[in-house]
Amino acid sequence: MVSQSGRVPVHPQWCVPDRCGHLVPPVLAHMGRRHRGVLLKVGEVRPSGAVASYLIEADGEEPRVTVHVACRAGTAWAELSFPQAGQLVSQLRSLLVQGGGGHGGN
């Protein structure tokens, strides 16, 4: 969010100052001037790839969950709305259960 003056950014509670696009240069071009939260990472890039996720919010819009996938071929990402992120969580949980590796959590 930005204050009424439009000059001073108002950071959401989850925004991390050393990652916020308003405060530091963006890591990737599409991230410019957007609030970013803590980077959460799973997996190694070799050999099976890695997934990173974090919250991102453009000024005046709802926050979204960004999911990056990195592998030897490159990096791609998706910005998911909260309902879509919830869908992803459900699908992953279902896959864990299907594979017998679920912890039965909710």
Query: Can you give the binding site for Zn ion, defined by CB under 5 A?
Result: 11, 15, 20, 35
Q: Residue 13 Cβ, how far from Zn ion at the closest point, in Å?
A: 10
Phi, psi of 2 (to 5 degrees): -125, 140
Of the two residues 25 and 47, which places its CB atom closer to Zn ion in the complex?
25
Tell me how far apart the alpha carbons of residues 50 and 42 are, in angstroms, rounded to a whole number. Answer: 6
Structural tokens at position 69 = 């996938």
- Please report which helix (H) or strand (E) contains residue 28, including its range: none
Of the two residues 15 and 85, which places its CB atom closer to Zn ion in the complex?
15
Q: Residue 49 Cβ, how far from Zn ion at the closest point, in Å?
A: 29
Q: Cβ-closest residue to Zn ion? A: 20
CB 22 within 8 A of CB 33: yes
CB 15 within 8 A of CB 37: yes
Q: Residue 12 Cβ, how far from Zn ion at the closest point, in Å?
A: 7
Of the two residues 20 and 85, which places its CB atom closer to Zn ion in the complex?
20
